[in-house]
Amino acid sequence: MQTFNPLPDKPAPAQTVGITGWLKNNLFSSPLNSLATIVVAAILIKVLPAMIDWLFISANWSGATQDDCTKDGACWVFVSAWSQQFFYGSYPDEEIWRVNLCLAMLVAIITASLRVKKELREKVFIPLFLLLPFISIAILDGSYLGLVQVDTDYWGGFSLNVLLAAASIIVAFPLGFLWALGRRSHMPLARTISIGFIEFFRGVPVLALFFMGSVMLPLFFPEGTNVDKLLRVWIVLVFFMSGYMAEVYRGGFNAIPAGQYEAADSLGLSYWQKTLLIILPQVIKISMPNILATFVMLFKNTTFLLIIGIFEMLSTTQTALSNSHWLGGHAEEGYLFVALVFWVCCFSMSMMASAIERKLNTDHKN
Amino acid sequence: MSVPPNYIQTSKSRGSFFNNPANRALIYQFLLLMGLGYFFYIIISNTMSNMEARGIKSGISFLGETAGFDILMSLIPYDSTHTYGKTFIVGLLNTLLVSVIGIFLATIIGFIMGVAHFSRNWLISKSSTVFIETFRNIPLLLQVFFWYFAVLSSLPSARQSLSIGEAFFLNVRGLYLPHLAGDEGSVVVYGAVFIAITSIIALHRFAKIQQEKTGKQLPVLRLSLAILIVLPLFATLIMGTPFHWELPVLKGFNYQGGTTIIPELIALSLALSIYTGAFIAEAVRAGVQSVPHGQTEAARSIGMNEKQIMKLIIVPQAMRVISPLLNSEYQSLVKNSTLATAIGYPDLFTVFVGTTLNQTGQAIEIVFMTMAVYFAINMFISVLMNLFDKKVSLITR
């Protein structure tokens, strides 16, 4: 009896597998594609080695003054010499632990609240989170706690960007929700006021708002009261942010099926029970990616404070660049460093946002 | 016929006054109104007394006073003897200029980079990702500074300008371009361009009606291009080329003649268009990805080629997602153009909120006027984009 003996499999054509296959598919699939590859590759070959050389190989890494930058490459000494200013502004040396403490608290509360049980989170961590801006102000200022008072003129650097952005969004969280509720309200007056507020703060350049905070807000307070500049900026940022957050929440509200409201109504829940226990948790969950994106925008926009003379990171960089001991044209190094710091923060947050979005996205498109 | 028993209670027998939601809503709103009124009363009375104490005038009569300062760049004739009102116009025009340049370039950059993401060429698709993720995540102000202080101020001085063919010059003082000046008879050519554009629009209408009637497609793109090129060219030749180039020439320490683009404008429009371009690219990417793959497969299976699939299936559907995003990106570009003040480009913000406010001290009027202008520009963009949105959005029953 004849048996069927299959021949051994032939290997795939050499051109379709391995490196050649990949190259042919991805870089040289058509004449036009090959041309594009060659052009892009040529640009990369021309630019990259010079850049790497300037950035790393012939860069100056150690030293303390400008004179230590003897090689042609980047003068990273500039960054290391000014690093404390970049991160903490002119906050006094011996008090820097306070800034670190505030940053650590922020990180600790956020990470802890993601891990602890629901009960504990609702009773302890969320109130703590909402109180954090005020606790941080007390710690940084110090006079309420019997520590040495550090005037807000000395606060600055990257820590100020982070803390100000965090403090603004924490307060804007509940406030934005109120505006969003107002916009959905059946009361015409509440609705009109909310829409007016939201559209005003979204339609006007944030820089104009900062100017409003610094030149107009003092006129609104009773004569003789001197409200701190940073506090005024904070108020403006909170309002600005709550306008944007209200829009984000609106998207969340629209995504919630009407059945949720009807079910809550038929259980006999009151308006606030329905809103806080049924709707709010779902809204926050749905809008999380957009909340993060809005936060990234706010965080980047804190650099605009330079224009009204607040010493955030970019403005300390500008100061360092015009320092008489460092007049060698270190703009590239300084800006690259600031860009890198912001980029790492913003990029990781947008990654987080898209990870959440993917997790929430359960449809089977594509 | 028996009358059904009245189960539905009338409002009279509804129990207490406060249990009626309508009444409660009225009370809440009344309280809200009172609170708001009190709030504004406090603010206004505080402001009045503060202004009196500081000797600040009110009203917009300052707009008629002489400004007494110069402005770096102006699209209309302006010097320091003109009024504050004129500084407002100069600033506004400069803001509009940088916004239009920014929106134009950002759209081009955004669409190229967004489509490049879907390139089958690995290098190009990865470059687009790197571009988007880099420029989206770096603060805009930093990018403005980078172009202005790190790139443009390291350009050579006027005598060592970078040049292309003795017509384009780039140096630390700006970009110098040849200027096309019209002589006598150039009006005819402008008229020809206008006629060409109107006839192209008419052609499009006609082609659409023809296609709906007979099913035949006219080669609209080729015809329009032909009209656009031939008609003005013909007019130019008839009038004996009524144009000449004004070239920038080095005189003393700088170039004279031609068109000068100041470095502030270059830096600001570069930063704005690249930053916004990265966001638009992201929007384009999201739009194209939102079209289900089944659509492409279905189009392929009824025998469409790649070009048709792109033009007739993917782009119309992707535009629905892109259009609202584009609207908000354009609006944020206009708002972000206020960063001009950081490098001294004389836009509305720099001129009006900066110098004019400093000189007159009338913070409230000036800040509100400026806010109103940006609000109005954004409303205008919004209206235009909503028209566009209506055109591309899904037509449902």
Alpha helix positions (H), B139-185 = 140-145
Q: What was the pLDDT predicted at B159?
A: 76
**Residue recorded with tokens 């104490």:** B53
For residue B263, being part of any structural domain is answered with yes
Contact B50 A33 (CB under 8 A): no
> What's the CATH code of the domain at B326?
1.10.3720.10
Q: What was the pLDDT predicted at B151?
A: 84
Note the pTM of the prediction, 2 decimals: 0.87
Give me the residues of chain A with pLDDT under 70, please: 362-366
Chain B residues near residue A342 by CB distance under 8 angstroms: 137-139, 142
Residues 111-170 of chain B with CB under 8 A from chain A are 119-124, 127, 133-134, 136-142, 145-146, 149-150, 153-154
By C-alpha distance, the chain B residue nearest A315 is: B142
Please answer whether residues B397 and B324 qualify as being in contact, where contact means their C-beta atoms are separated by less than 8 angstroms.
no
Give the count of domains, chain B. 1
Contact B25 A27 (CB under 8 A): no
**Cα angle vertex A43, ends A39, A47, to 5°?**
170
Report the CATH superfamily, name and number, of domain A76-91+150-360: MetI-like (1.10.3720.10)
DSSP A306: G
Q: What is the largest CA-CA distance in chain B?
A: 107
Our separate counts of H helices and E strands in chain B read: 14, 8
Q: Domain range for residue B361?
A: 84-178+247-392
Instruction: Name which of A303, A313, A318 to mutate to probe chain B: the one with the most chain B Cβ atoms within 10 A of its Cβ.
Output: A303
Q: How far apart are CA B370 and CA B239, in angstroms?
A: 46
DSSP A60: B
Please answer whether residues A342 and B142 qualify as being in contact, where contact means their C-beta atoms are separated by less than 8 angstroms.
yes
For residue B312, being part of any structural domain is answered with yes
For residue B166, being part of any structural domain is answered with yes
DSSP A270: -
- Which of B50, B141, B378 lies at the smallest CB-CB distance from A304? B141
Tokens of B49: 């007394």
Please answer whether residues B65 and B83 qualify as being in contact, where contact means their C-beta atoms are separated by less than 8 angstroms.
yes
The amino acid sitting at A277 is: L
Q: What was the pLDDT predicted at B334?
A: 94
Please answer whether residues B323 and B393 qualify as being in contact, where contact means their C-beta atoms are separated by less than 8 angstroms.
yes
Instruction: Enumerate the domain spans of chain A.
Output: 76-91+150-360
Best CA proximity match to B143, nearest among B268, B256, B241: B268
Please answer whether residues B268 and B343 qualify as being in contact, where contact means their C-beta atoms are separated by less than 8 angstroms.
yes
**Run of H or E residues at B179:** strand B179-182
Strand partners, B249: B256
CB proximity list for A57: less than 8 A, separation 6 or greater: A73
Q: What was the pLDDT predicted at A366?
A: 47
Chain A residues near residue B124 by CB distance under 8 angstroms: 36-37, 40
Q: What was the pLDDT predicted at B15?
A: 67
Strand partners, B176: B169, B260
For residue B329, being part of any structural domain is answered with yes
Q: How far apart are CA A177 and CA A173, in angstroms?
A: 6
**Helices A157-184, A96-115: inter-axial angle, 10-degree rounding:** 40
Q: How far apart are CA B269 and CA A245, in angstroms?
A: 29
Best CA proximity match to B267, nearest among B90, B143, B171, B176: B143
**CA dist A130 → A44, A135, A167, B11, B131 (Å):** 48, 10, 9, 43, 37
The amino acid sitting at B183 is: D
Q: How far apart are CA B91 and CA B353, in angstroms?
A: 10
Q: How far apart are CA B348 and CA A216, in angstroms?
A: 18
CA distance B150 to chain A (A): 6
Helix (H, G, I), strand (E, B) or coil at A347: helix
- Which of A37, A347, A366 lies at the smallest CB-CB distance from B133? A347
CA distance B121 to chain A (A): 5
The amino acid sitting at A6 is: P
**CA dist A110 → A113, A115, A128, B77 (Å):** 5, 9, 10, 57
Best CA proximity match to B146, nearest among B135, B132, B160, B161: B135
Count of alpha carbons within 13 angstroms of residue B396, beta-carbon side: 2
Chain A residues near residue B121 by CB distance under 8 angstroms: 26-27, 29, 33, 36-37
Residues 264-323 of chain B with CB under 8 A from chain A are 292-293
Q: What was the pLDDT predicted at B395?
A: 65
- Which of B46, B123, B293 lies at the smallest CB-CB distance from A37? B123
**Run of H or E residues at B379:** helix B363-392
DSSP class per residue in B355-378: IIHHHH--HHHHHHHHHHHHHHHH
Q: Residues A305-333: pLDDT tens digits?
A: 998 888 899 899 888 888 888 877 788 88
Please answer whether residues B173 and B167 qualify as being in contact, where contact means their C-beta atoms are separated by less than 8 angstroms.
no
ipTM for the predicted complex: 0.88
Best CA proximity match to B377, nearest among A204, A245, A347, A71: A204
For residue B202, being part of any structural domain is answered with no
CB proximity list for A222: less than 8 A, separation 6 or greater: B46
Chain A residues near residue B141 by CB distance under 8 angstroms: 303-304, 306, 314
Q: Is the dihedral of CA A61, A66, A71, A73 positive or negative?
A: positive
- Which of A33, A207, A342 lies at the smallest CB-CB distance from B137? A342
Please answer whether residues B164 and B176 qualify as being in contact, where contact means their C-beta atoms are separated by less than 8 angstroms.
no
For residue B191, being part of any structural domain is answered with no
Q: How far apart are CA A257 and CA A255, in angstroms?
A: 6
For residue B103, being part of any structural domain is answered with yes
Phi-psi region of B344 (alpha: psi -120 to 50; beta: other; left: phi over 0): left
CA distance B388 to chain A (A): 20
Q: E strands within B199-342?
A: 243-246, 249-251, 254-256, 259-261
Our separate counts of H helices and E strands in chain A read: 16, 0
Please answer whether residues A89 and A315 qualify as being in contact, where contact means their C-beta atoms are separated by less than 8 angstroms.
no
Please answer whether residues A264 and A278 qualify as being in contact, where contact means their C-beta atoms are separated by less than 8 angstroms.
yes
Beta-carbon count within 10 A of A220 CB: 17
Q: How far apart are CA B69 and CA B355, in angstroms?
A: 8
Please answer whether residues A90 and A311 qualify as being in contact, where contact means their C-beta atoms are separated by less than 8 angstroms.
yes
Q: How far apart are CA B353 and CA B163, in angstroms?
A: 37
Give me the residues of chain B with pLDDT under 70, please: 1-15, 395-397
Q: What was the pLDDT predicted at B281?
A: 95
| Beta strands B179-182 and B174-177, pairing class | unpaired
CA distance B197 to chain A (A): 33
Tokens of B375: 């609000």
For residue B138, being part of any structural domain is answered with yes
